[in-house]
Amino acid sequence: MLDPRLFRQNPEAIAGALSIRGYDLDLDTYRDLEKARRDLQTEMESLQHERNIVSREIGRAKRSGEEIEPLVSAVGDLGLRLEVIRTEFNKVHEELQGYLLTIPNIPDDSVPVGETDEDNRELYRWGDVTEFSFEPKDHVDIAGDSLDFEASVRIAGSRFSVLRGPLARLHRGLIQLMLDIHTDEHGYEELYVPYIANRESLTATGQLPKFEDDVFFVSSEVDSFLIPTAEVPVTNMVRDQILDANDLPLKYVCHTPCFRRESGSHGKDTRGLIRLHQFEKVELVQVTHPDRSWVALDEIVNHAETVLKRLELPFRAVSLCGGDLGFASAKTIDLEVWLPGFDRYREVSSCSNFLDFQARRAQARFRPAPQTRPELVHTLNGSGLAIGRVLIAIMENYQDSQGRVHIPDALIPYMHGVQYLEFES
């Protein structure tokens, strides 16, 4: 959430800053709510002041032996009026908070101007696009019966998958490789977290209330949802906490399934493993001192890149334009791996700096020094990486003319020494 003080000081400036996203800020609604809040607060303070004066008069009258019944009655009337105004104030305050929760983060000045992913700015490339002496297949044709969509439809419906045999082992090996790299080499603490989160947790990270239709609702009894990403439970590790400055940065890595409705996707994106309702990710989260968050963003990008380089998969890095930026992000760098079956680069990691946007919603703070006032931390995350899409990249980039998939050297120890996979059609 943006700082309410910024709105009160200069809402027009915020509207201008958000325009790079193509976001049209409803200033009339804000002004109406803020005026109502301000007027009610003034009236409430005036009534409280008046009641305090009368209460003091009651004390003086008692000491002087004067009649106090009219004064007591006046205090009662003021109390009733104050309760009515306080109720109205709380209602308007709640409406204003709800309005502020729907407003996205302000993009950093370095974010490119643009409306769609076509306007994202390419930063650099690593590795050469894979070339073949034969007509390459996509991952669905390569996998054959090891990718069992008939079973997944029977079990859960469309947009799920069942991986069998060697493909399931390759999937598991990728998870283990990524966790080992991030814990052993990059210094992240591994977490295991719930796959269900409450409304407060998804509100803190920005999925709610704006994107409630995109997540799977679990239970009205406890108002809970399946997690759309490990970002939600991991970031909420610091919700309502006051951290010691010496403990920053906190660096967490977590593997979870992710559950998303993906209702807007269509066409070739729905073929195979590219866009499912359930998929796996290894997520990187950092909680940092505000002075260090841009350094931390570079670190997360580098850490995610390490996995792609270790697997020798060609990729590129792009800076997302304003129109393609996620709701809570001030800046995002995407890593996109080359997929021969799609003849294009596809995103496998989005690395984002949220500044204090999530921390304000989560009330995640740190104390700069003993006896000082707590300040908001900065939060960041990035996929390290999306398992299913890396699985696709390995199958499509490491295929040979016989239909086999060769295992990248870094993965061979996780595959019990197997150097290539063969699939039954």
List active site positions: 260, 275, 347, 350, 389
With a CB cutoff of 8 Å and minimum separation 6, the contacts of 163 are: 146, 147, 148, 171
Torsion angle of the four alpha carbons 289, 293, 298, 300, in this order, in degrees rounded to the nearest 10: 70
Half-sphere exposure for 147 (CA within 13 Å, toward CB): 21
Q: How far apart are CA 133 and CA 151, in angstroms?
A: 34
Residue 328 identity (one-letter amino acid): A
Burial of 65 (0-12, 13-18, 19+ CB in 10 A): exposed
| Alpha-helical segments (H) within 253-329 | 293-310
Residue 169: Cβ within 10 Å count: 17
Helix (H, G, I), strand (E, B) or coil at 98: helix
Cβ neighbours around 47 below 10 Å, total: 18
Give the C-alpha separation, 376 to 1, whole Å.
Answer: 12
Q: Which two three-digit tokens encode residue 161?
A: 């998958």
